[in-house]
Structure 1
Amino acid sequence: MEGKQYSECQIQNFEDSKVAVTEKDPIMRIKQPGDEIQEGMHGCEEKTTSETKSWSTGFLVNMESTVAEIDCVSIGVSSNDIDLSVLHPDSSSLPIMASLSEADDEESELHTWKKLGFEPTLPICLKFEDVTYKVPVKGEKTPDANKYILHGITGLVHPGEVLALMGPSGGGKTTLLNLLSGRIKLDSGTITYNNQPYSKSLKWRIGFVLQDDVAFPHLTVKETLTYAALLRLPNTLTMQQKKERATYVISELGLERCQNTVIGGTFFRGISGGERKRVCIANEILLNPSLLLLDEPTSGLDSTTALQIVKMLRNIARSGKTVVTTIHQPSSRLFSKFDKLILLGKGSSLYFGKASDAMLYFSSMGCSPLIAMNPAEFLIDLANGNIKDKSVPSDLEDKFFPRNNSLDMKHGELSQVDVHEYLVEAYAVKEAKLGKTKLIKPLLIDAEPRMKARSSTMEWGATWWDQFSILFRRGLKERRHEYFSCIRITQVFSTAIVMGLLWWRSDASSPKGLQDQAGLLFFISVFWAFFPMFTAIFTFPQERVMLAKERSVGMYRLSAYLLARMTSDLPLDLILPLVFLVIVYLMAGLKSTFTAFSLTMLTVFLSVVAAQGLGLTIGAAFMDVKKASTMASVIIMTSMLSGGFFIQKVPVFMSWVRYISFTYHTYRLLLKIHYGCSTGLDAESGSSCKSPFKGLRLDWDGMEVGTMVAMTVGYRILAYAFLRRMKLMTIN
């Protein structure tokens, strides 16, 4: 009880001592140069009706907001706080009441936005209160055993503000961001957007940038954003308008210099890390979202590049958007760019308010750095329960130091648990004193009709046929590098040459030569089943993150993606087998007629697409490369052993294996092409034509072709079914 009373006194001291801190203190400096935050006065209430045109780099904002009886102390920022600066670094900020000399420029810029199809940005005030999230603990006997990830998190962010979610790893930042985006369901608490709960109409108003930069490595920056614009932007825009908007966003985010450079990947270089992050942000900016959520946008970047990213986010927010970002441990310059801050520790809120007031808040309770320290580093230490090189609050010291069992006796310091519990309790006292409703009282924005109007018109950004054609072109550009890589070409060419040398000018006139050629045909059937199947296995596991990301924002239908994926592979799948067969045919001396070569090519091609379909199915079923490769190895071995070359007489109970083996059907088709009968029946006896292979009929009946076609279609239907069941990051 004494500790609680002392905390209340310290909170009062914090409120009374805000004005006592000056910029002369390098650690406790609150206001940064250039920060203009409108401070409210106690008891100040006002009624304001404002119509603000906020100008940014191509994003028109038409904010019609009504603020009724707003307590200036509880909110601490008004609609006039939204900076009207232009995103381009060389541009100057435009005032709200533009002068007559600037009218022509504004009219020209407005004409550009109208031409590009930009709609006015819908301002969204994001409010969340007592947000709690828990997950079941695996391995526990009791079914109700849960682990709490978040404990009653509360916060508020207005249009024009940047809210930073800061805390150590495992503190719940990403979970909270996913809850705010609607990607995962809320356990308890409330999350509202302009005082309205989440709905499908908001799906198109929210942009989400993942922590990992997910992009196709072989596409250029311009191609990446152009394809995204063609798929995501609404049907009301023409193809030309969509392309122009992509070009415009490239220009405004400073990506012109690298627009024709490939994104790059693990094994080859492309654009820099900062440029990759800007490409991911540009992907979301294309839709002109009202709420932009970012997960660790500065991770892996140097301090200068990270500062450029945060400055860009701040300018995006000043254009009337609401920006929420997680951050791990920013530099002092980055920290000064945030408007609001939520400090999380072990899933609990340790501070919410203006970022510039965070140091003053902890100082008011007696916790200050004893050495020169980055404010963000100081806050992260507190979130971890680390009190080293910091003054210990007197009530915390009085409360715990007499109790030796609560101390970390090895180091003679307070335990992290003690510090964490104290900070959580102190923040709870602050909330109780100020009043939670006043702390998170939002601006009143009447945008509900506009929020609902978008849901029906933005179901899909393109028609099914447009989605298919765009994905088909994108697939050809992306995978041509994979299909025609040096390793792959070398593998096919070297195998063909080795085979040609081993079977050089083979003669089928003798029984021994006939058996040798049969071995060659069997190897061809095995090779062109094994090779494409193992290539296809990696398709969906490798593209899972990209597929989940694009599907979660409704870029395309799954059927359009899968059909485009399969059809774009067909021309690529045909080239290497064609070259392979030309080399083998010329060197091995197979049946040298155009008909035999054409039928052999069609058979091999049918084997390729059937094996590829099986590989896609296995990959979609497991979504794990190791598991899928293990299963494929067993299947290909079984198919090879039952293919009809090693064993002719199979036990009755295992005879079914042959009929699901594409190696068996491919091998029989190749034998029929090269050694079969053209008439099908012997004219004199009326029996099946004579086969050079004992116990093997080579007359044409079409069974093998029908079975291979059925496999080609059936495996792809199975792959589609498995993808439908795959857990994507969809927004419900």
Structure 2
Amino acid sequence: MVSMFRDVTYKVIIKGMTSTEEKDILNGISGSVDPGEVLALMGPSGSGKTTLLNLLGGRLNQPTVGGSITYNDGPYSKFLKSRIGFVTQDDILFPHLTVKETLTYAALLRLPKTLTKQQKQKRAMDVIYELGLERCQDTVIGGSFVRGVSGGERKRVCIGNEIIINPSILFLDEPTSGLDSTTALKTVQLLQDMAEGGKTVVTTIHQPSSRLFHKFDKLILLGKGSLLYFGKSSEAMLYFSSIGCNPLIAMNPAEFLLDLANGNINDVSVPSELDDKVQIVNSDAGKRNGKPSPAVVHEYLVEAYETRVAVKEKKKLMVPIPLDEEVKAKVSSLKRQWGASWWQQYTILFCRGIKERRHDYFSWLRITQVLSTAIILGLLWWNSDTNSLKGLQDQAGLLFFIAVFWGFFPVFTAIFTFPQERAMLSKERAADMYRLSAYFLARTTSDLPLDLVLPVLFLLVVYFMAGLRMSAAPFFLTMLTVFLSIIAAQGLGLAIGATLMDLKRATTLASVTVMTFMLAGGYFVKRVPVFVSWIRYLSFNYHTYKLLLKVQYKHMTPVLNGMRIDSGLTEVSALVAMVFGYRLLAYISLRRMKLCAQ
């Protein structure tokens, strides 16, 4: 796929306390890349290379974008998503999935519906062998606290996630960052092999070694958002020599170019034109320690490119279709092409969710926490007395603790769900891997089987040690009540996390909310003011506690601790409403966040 871009500009709007200003990130960038070529975007930090890559890859759709970008003479459209691969700088992968599982799930979600499940799985294995990952295919990816594959293998898995759809054009954001020189060379050699196979490859690179630099076919050098060079990478040194900039010592070409882009001309010969310009400026700002300042060097390089190269290069580019209205008209008339049906997306994401999170749910730390709490409670209420009112009130204290424990615990676990997966969600949604509704339902329901195990273990210990009502119906109704409380509490955690998307703020809000629910329930203050008492009806702790009392004592007393012991239909209805209401709020919050280009 041929990609051409002409006079691309990009601005960001910075809102201050009293005013709003626009900052130029890119200033009229032009260039092209053809199938079989590797184009490297190079420049110092903050030069705009990642922004340019995101624009070319269709990852930025803002009104502040100017110029034109075309792919095979056509504008960007949603149909192109299935032909474009985009590898982000950060290795965003699930740590507990193996290499084979990661690529298989990507194949099942991204490859066309016309392929069978077996054909998609075979494609995943083909990519594994193509990238040389067969030796680690059954090794987990790993992360901060999980030992897994090496850094180079992680990067290849990220590349595999994108080339699995056999894209016509592949974008990569600093694929060699964090890798040693040998691994970085292998990675770039892999990109070169892909290009030779007929693909178009565009990559940003920060400071490549000389061996890496010579493997690129074309080069774009950026400085402060302006174009300093576009052309063959092998001719870059000749061009800068022609404008009077030569290294005075033997040095890596990439290092020399980055020094120039930064305005650093130590160990670089200064052209006479630049000396003349400094003499005209004739100030400390224009010349420091007898050398031109970085600002003057940058201005000279931009002017040199504009006068000597830019006009000739722009003539080579075909006149492309403008970005704005033409793109909007075409995009609005197209529908997304999903690789799987809604139900298939849900099923795949459900299975992936269980495989990824079962390690966290059944970690020894969590099991020990739940079982030790259960044993302590069982010892404190060992064979509690149910023959006297005082004994019943003591036992009611245990039920209150159970309601509180299985209210706090799920809320603060669920809060982490969407903030922690935001990067993965953004990445996968940007590639149109699945619908947000399929992801949301799979993410929230795949926790349910896992959530049932620990409460069952907890109640098996507490229920019989404390001597609660010994018959099957009360035991299973107690378990059902606790499970309903957990799902409702999770809904609140999901809603808070999805709304704020910040763990510190979400944890603070959840602490205040749950504490308010508990205090307003009337457990500690019998006469709760009217203007506060209504909060209890929003509290899952309040409804769970009432249900537990009704399950245990319906046959014994009509009133306990001021609560009427009835059928409990009101409490069940309230908890069910919370289960769906809080989750609906979480989904709406995710939809409004606009995590990625949609």
Q: TM-score, normalised by structure 1?
A: 0.78
- 8 Å CA contact retained: 1:622, 1:628: yes
Q: Is the 8 A contact 1:519 1:645 kept in 2?
A: no
RMSD across aligned positions (CA): 1.9
Give the aligned partner of residue 159 of structure 1.
Answer: 35
Where 1:655 maps in the other structure, the secondary structure is helix
Secondary structure of 1:218's match? coil
CA distance in 2, matches of 1:211, 1:420: 27
SS in 2 for 1:317: helix
Q: What is aligned with 2:65?
A: 187
Q: Determine the structure 2 residue equivalent to 1:615.
A: 493
Q: Is residue 2:351 matched to residue 1:473?
A: yes
Distance change (3 Å), C-alpha of 1:411 and 1:523: farther
Shift in Å, 1:189 = 1.0
Counterpart Cα distance in 2 of 1:296 and 1:494 = 47
The 1:303/1:460 distance shift into structure 2, 3 A limit, reads same
Cα distance, 1:427–1:409 mapped onto 2, change above 3 Å: closer
User: Which amino acid is 2:384 matched to?
Assistant: S
Answering whether residue 26 of structure 2 is matched by residue 150 of structure 1, we say yes
After superposing the two structures, state which structure 1 stretch, 393-402 or 148-157, moved more: 393-402
Give 3-state SS (helix, strand or coil) of 1:137's partner: strand
Matches of 1:375 and 1:244 in 2, distance apart? 42
Q: Structure 1: 5+ residue runs without aligned partners?
A: 1-123, 444-451, 679-688
Cα drift, residue 513 of structure 1: 2.2
SS in 2 for 1:592: coil
Q: In the alignment, does 2:41 pair up with 1:173?
A: no
Does residue 566 in structure 1 map to residue 444 in structure 2? yes
Deviation of 1:206 (Å)? 0.9
Counterpart of 1:697 in structure 2 is 564
Contact 1:406 1:414 in 2 (8 A): no
Separation of aligned partners in 2, 1:355 and 1:442: 24
Number of equivalenced pairs: 586
SS in 2 for 1:650: coil
8 Å CA contact retained: 2:346, 2:442 = yes
Matches within 5 A, 1:701-720: 701-720=568-587
CA distance in 2, matches of 1:432, 1:623: 44
Query: Shift in Å at residue 432 of structure 1?
Result: 5.3
Runs of 5+ in structure 2 lacking a partner? 321-329
Q: Does 1:261 align with 2:128?
A: no
Matched with 1:29 is none
Worse-superposed segment, 496-505 or 317-326: 496-505
Asked if 2 retains the 8 angstrom alpha-carbon contact of 1:643 and 1:667, the reply is no
On the 8 A contact 2:127/2:164 being kept in 1, the answer is yes
The aligned amino acid for 1:348 is: S
1:501 alignment partner in structure 2: 379
Q: Distance in 2 between matches of 1:188 and 1:433?
A: 19
C-alpha spacing 1:140/1:578, structure 2 compared with 1 (3 Å): closer
Q: State the SS of the aligned residue for 2:434.
A: coil
Partner of 2:340: 462
The aligned runs of 1:371-450 (5 Å cut-off) are 371-401=249-279, 403-407=281-285, 411-431=289-309, 434=312, 436-438=314-316, 440=317
Pick the aligned partner of 2:15 from 106, 121, 138.
138
Superposition pairs of residues 97-116 of structure 1, within 5 angstroms: none
SS in 1 for 2:283: helix
Q: Distance in 2 between matches of 1:623 and 1:352?
A: 40
Contact 2:536–2:542 (CA under 8 A) maintained in structure 1:
yes
Aligned AA for 1:607?
S
Normalising to structure 2: TM-score of the pair?
0.95
Partner AA of 1:136 in structure 2? I
Indicate the residue corresponding to 1:669 in structure 2.
547
Q: Which is further off, 650-659 or 595-604?
A: 650-659
Name the residue aligned to 1:197.
75
Residue 433 of structure 1 and its aligned partner are, at CA, apart by 5.9
1:641 aligns with 2:519: yes
| Consecutive aligned runs of 4 or more in structure 1 exceeding 6 Å deviation | 455-458
Q: Letter of the aligned partner of 1:138 in structure 2?
A: K
Question: Following the alignment from structure 1 to structure 2, what is the Cα–Cα distance between the partners of residues 647 and 673?
Answer: 24
Distance in 2, matches of 1:313 and 1:155, equals 20
* 1:239 pairs with 2:106: no
**CA distance 1:645–1:347, change in 2 (3 Å):** same
Are 1:127 and 2:10 an aligned pair?
no
1:102-149: per-residue Cα shift (whole Å, max 9, x none)? xxxxxxxxxxxxxxxxxxxxxx11110111111112217454x21000
Give the drift of 1:456: 7.2
Paired with 1:459 and 1:515, the residues of 2 have a C-alpha distance of 61
How far apart are residue 349 of structure 1 and its match?
Answer: 0.5
- Which amino acid in 2 is paired with 1:559? S
Alignment of 1:318-357 (within 5 A): 318-357=196-235
Deviations 1:508-536 (A, max 9, x none): 22333222211111000000000011000
Report the Cα distance in structure 2 between the residues aligned to 1:320 and 1:509, rounded to whole angstroms: 83
1:660 aligns with 2:527: no
SS of aligned partner of 1:217: coil
Change (3 A) 1:151 1:498: same
Residue of structure 2 equivalent to 1:215: 93
Which has the larger displacement, 597-606 or 653-662?
A: 653-662
Query: Do the aligned residues in 1 keep the contact of 2:171 with 2:203 (CA within 8 Å)?
Result: yes
Please say which of residues 233-242 and 134-143 is displaced more in the overlay. 134-143
Shift of 1:311: 0.5
1:725 to 559, 569, 592: 592
SS at match of 2:387: coil
Q: Conserved in 2, the CA contact under 8 Å of 1:156 and 1:442? A: no
Report % sequence identity: 68
CA distance in 2, matches of 1:694, 1:260: 57
User: Secondary structure at 1:462's aligned position in 2?
Assistant: coil
Contact residue 341 and residue 351 of structure 1 kept, 8 A: yes
Equivalent position SS for 1:405: coil
- 1:171 match: secondary structure: coil
User: Partners of 1:626 and 1:237 in 2: how far apart?
Assistant: 44
Q: Report the AA paired with residue 459 of structure 1.
A: Q
Find the counterpart in structure 2 of residue 552 from structure 1. Answer: 430
Contact 2:403–2:482 at 8 Å: present in 1 too?
yes
Q: SS at the partner of 2:174?
A: coil
* Alpha-carbon distance in 2 for matches of 1:212, 1:545: 9
Shift of 1:334: 0.3
Checking the alignment, whether the CA contact within 8 Å between 2:112 and 2:339 is kept in structure 1 is yes
Contact kept? 1:132, 1:152, Cα under 8 Å: yes
Contact 2:286/2:296 (CA < 8 Å) preserved in 1? no
User: How many angstroms does 1:221 deviate by?
Assistant: 0.4
Say if 1:435 and 1:597 are closer, same or farther in 2 by CA, change over 3 A: closer
Comparing 599-608 and 410-419, the one that deviates more:
410-419
CA pair 573-157 structure 1, distance change in 2 beyond 3 A: same
- Per the alignment, do residues 426 and 607 of structure 1 end up closer, same or farther by CA in structure 2, a change over 3 Å counting? same
Question: For the residues of structure 1 that align with 2:586 and 2:310, how far apart are their CA atoms?
Answer: 55
Verify the 8 A CA contact 2:40 2:219 in the aligned structure 1.
yes
Residue 182 of structure 1 aligns to which amino acid in structure 2? Answer: G
* SS of match in other structure, 1:130: strand
What is the letter of the counterpart of residue 366 of structure 2? R
Deviation at 1:695, TM superposition (A): 2.8
CA separation of 1:706/1:245 partners in 2, compared to 1, >3 Å: closer, same or farther? same
Letter in 2 for 1:727: K
The alpha-carbon distance between structure 1 residues 290 and 723, as it changes in their structure 2 partners (threshold 3 A), is: same
Task: Select between 554-563 and 393-402 the one with higher mean Cα deviation.
Answer: 393-402
Query: C-alpha distance in 1, partners of 2:538/2:592?
Result: 25
- 2:278, 2:287 within 8 Å by CA — same for their partners in 1? no
582-591 vs 295-304, greater mean Cα deviation: 582-591
Deviation at 1:588, TM superposition (A): 1.6
In terms of fraction of residues, the more helix-rich structure is: 2
